[in-house]
A and B are shown apart, each in its own frame.
Chain A
Amino acid sequence: MNSTSAELRLQDAWRECERHVHHLFYAMAALKPLWPFTADKYGALTDEQVQDMDQFILRFTKLQDTMGERFLPAILQYLQEPYDTRPMLDKLNRLEKLGFIESVEKWQQIRSIRNRFAHDYPDDPEKNAAHINLAFETALDLYETLAAAASRLVADPYSLAALGNPLPQSTPDWIRPGEDGSRKGNNPK
C-alpha cells in the first residue's frame, strides 16, 4: 500500500471513531443522573432510558470494533510496519511497543467487555449493572486511547499532516470524580 492510501485509510478510520465517540458520549450524558447503576436502577429504566442505553451499547461496541479492526491496523500500515497479514495479537503487541495502546492485556479486557454485550444475562441483574458501570469507565479509556494516538500521529516523528477536524466531544469527566485529568491518580487517598 502506498503512503497516500495508508494515510487516507487512517483518516477515514479515525473519523468513524470520532463519530462513534460523539454518540457514545451523548448517550452517557443522557444517562448521567442514573450513574453509577445498581441492579434496581438498571431494572427500572424508562423506555427512553432504554433507548439511551441501547445507543451506549451500540456505540461502545462499534467504537471498540472500529478501533480494533480499522484504526489500530491503519496506524501500523501508515507507519509501514509489516503486520498486514499477521494475527491481531501480533499487531497489538507491536502497538503496545510503539506506545499506541496501554497494554495488550488491557485491550483484550476491553474486548471482553464489548463481547459481554452480545448476550443478555437476565438472571444476573447485579452483575449487569456492574458491567455497565465498568463499560462507562472504559468508554473514557477508549476515547483517551484514540485521542492520544491521534495527537501522537500528527506530531514528530510521525508528522501526519492532519487527521481531520475532531468532532465536539462532551467528555464525561464525571466518570472519574476528584481527578485533575491525570490518568493514574485514581485512588482518592
Chain B
Amino acid sequence: MRLTPRQIEIIRQAAQVAFGPATQVWLFGSRVDDSKRGGDIDLFIETDEPDVAKIVRAEMAFLATIKMQLGDQKIDVLVNYPARTAHPPIFEIARQTGVRL
C-alpha cells in the first residue's frame, strides 16, 4: 500500500469526524499496488448516516480536511450509505481488493 502511516491516520480521522465514529474506510485502486507510482487516492467509505443531505456535507468536509492536510492530491471518494438505492459492482471490488484503513 502506497500511503504513509501519517496519511492513513489523517484519512481515517477525517472520515470519522466527518461521517461519524462507525465509518469504515477502504483504500483501493492503484494506491494498493506497491509496484505502481503516483496516481489518485481512491477511497471507499461506508457510513451508517441515514440522511443524504448530511452525507453530502460530510463528503465535502472530508475532502476539504484531507486536502488541507495532505496537499492538493487527486482524491476520489465512493460512499455507501443505508439509503443508497444503487450498489454498483465497484463497491464489491473495492471491499474485496481494497485495504481497510
Contacts and interface: CB of A to CB of B under 8 A. Distances in A.
A130 B60 contact: no
28 contacts: A39-B85, A88-B72, A89-B72, A105-B64, A108-B63, A108-B64, A108-B68, A109-B60, A109-B61, A111-B64, A112-B63, A112-B64, A113-B60, A123-B86, A124-B84, A125-B86, A126-B83, A126-B84, A127-B56, A127-B79, A129-B52, A130-B53, A130-B55, A131-B56, A133-B53, A134-B56, A134-B57, A134-B60
Interface string B39-83: 000000000000011011101110111011000100000010001
A113 B57 CA distance: 9
A106 B65 CA distance: 10
Nearest to A107: B64
A149 interface: no
Nearest to A88: B72
Those 8 A-B pairs whose CB atoms lie nearest each other, nearest first:
A108-B64, A112-B63, A123-B86, A130-B56, A109-B64, A112-B60, A109-B60, A130-B52
Contacts, number: 55
A127 B53 CA distance: 7
Contact-residue bracket for chain B: 20 to 34
Contacts of A129: 52
B28 to A, nearest CB: 17
Q: Which of B52, B55, B63 has the most CB of A within 10 A?
A: B52
Contacts of A31: none
Contact of A108 (B52, B67, B83, B85): B67
Given A124-B84, A125-B85, 15 more contacts: A105-B61, A105-B64, A105-B65, A105-B68, A108-B63, A108-B68, A109-B63, A109-B64, A112-B67, A113-B60, A116-B60, A126-B83, A127-B52, A129-B52, A134-B56
A29 interface: no
Nearest to B85: A126
Contacts of B72: 88-89
B5 interface: no
